[in-house]
A = this chain, B = another copy of it.
Amino acid sequence: MKPINVGLLGLGTVGGGTLTVLRRNASEITRRAGREIRVTMAAVRDLEKARKLAGNELEIVTDPFEVVNNPDIDIVVELIGGYTLSKELVLKAIANGKHVVTANKALLALHGNEIFKAAQDKGVMVAFEAAVAGGIPIIKALREGLTANRIEWIAGIINGTTNFILSEMRDKGLSFDTVLKQAQELGYAEADPTFDIEGIDAAHKLMIMSAIGFGIPMQFDKAYTEGISKLTREDIQYAEELGYRIKLLGITKRTPNGIELRVHPTLIPTKRLIANVEGVMNAVLVKGDAVGATMYYGRGAGAEPTASAVVADLVDVTRMHTADPEHRVPHLAFQPDALSDTPILPISEVRTSYYLRMRAFDKPGVLADLTRILADLEISIDAMIQKEPSEGEEQVNIIMLTHETVEKNIDQAIAKIEALSTIAGKVTRIRLEELEK
């Protein structure tokens, strides 16, 4: 059978990894796919560097439109990132009848609806396993492995940079700034780390998983996003003392009122398996009504782990590309005319538990004031600790864990607590999830 011809847009970390994996495992991949998958063309910025990396077996060009317009290319792999040029290229490739594989979570979270619609109309596939959690086949698990289930919630450690930073802060008692610098030196964090540390990257991935899990269209503007840059060693330490670990989780949950879609630092019980996912590793917990909780763990980034997902998509497309488009797996797991219009809940309507820390002057009546405020808002307290003041300090740290309540009530409680004359400064609020086993 004649080979499948692949054109790469971009030959950086993931593009290079894809080329390496396709070449090294060519014989096994051909045995699995039933025909050879070969990269015949790549568009790059730096011709000379690319020739050194790729050799003479493929045509290297600087204009990516040459790839998407080349009639010999069967599948276009988009690895240039961003969502302006990449969107134009992907839509052009689709218009030209080519299948597309992409690792671009931002592009899909922002423009997925338009892209999938175009692909649907043209009868081509857009595959994106590499867009979420790198080498972990989580898209396949959600879209095909758990189709029997009504998905109840998904909670994932889906950003390796922030998980590395949190692991190091806890392990070594270092501050956020110190570890961020180390992460940058190790190449785990970018020079401008905003997308990672503010949770935006995780929110892109969460949006994609939520769309597949619940059968809803992409609506990234409705995701709530809070990063880890304000987390202190102190809170990490107190959480540990209470039996919890702090992770940056992406959480999406089906509730009677709508779908929760939120990324934020989260206390989770230390005994949960996912609490022990350390360093740059990723893991996604999925709760289905039939299967219960399942977890998927592995490397969420890096040249070859991401290439593993890109190549798996190439094999999938190769296996499926002659099949009747109506019988292919739908892009968002659900048939396109059967997407749901369930609304995304604003963060004020989210229900969860909370870790609250405040600094109080060590005076009589403080606890009475605090507990009264919470009781009036019907927030019940699960645990409370008061730390002895350090020598020479006038203020004590009070930490409270609440039972589940709605976020707008906590907002009110915090406003009232901060207004107390016995409380100094701001209240620290970190959400808490039990993540039933």
Contacts and interface: CB of A to CB of B under 8 A. Distances in A.
Interface of A: 17, 21-22, 24-25, 28-34, 129, 134-137, 140-141, 144-150, 215, 273, 276-277, 288-299, 304-305, 307-312, 314-316, 319-324, 326-330, 333-335, 338
A292 B309 CA distance: 12
Given A32-B330, A327-B323, A335-B32, A137 B141 contact: yes
Contact of A25 (B276, B277, B290, B312): B290
Nearest to A328: B319
Say how many copies of this protein the assembly contains. 2
28 contacts: A21-B290, A24-B150, A28-B334, A31-B338, A32-B334, A34-B330, A34-B335, A135-B294, A137-B141, A137-B294, A140-B140, A141-B141, A144-B144, A144-B312, A144-B316, A146-B308, A146-B312, A147-B311, A148-B309, A148-B314, A292-B305, A294-B297, A295-B297, A320-B327, A321-B327, A322-B324, A322-B327, A323-B327
A326 B314 CA distance: 17
A187 B34 CA distance: 44
A305 B330 CA distance: 24
A135 B310 CA distance: 25
A293 B148 CA distance: 27
A307 to B, nearest CB: 6
Given A308-B288, A312-B144, A296 B299 contact: no
Contact of A308 (B290, B328, B330): B290
A291 B319 contact: no
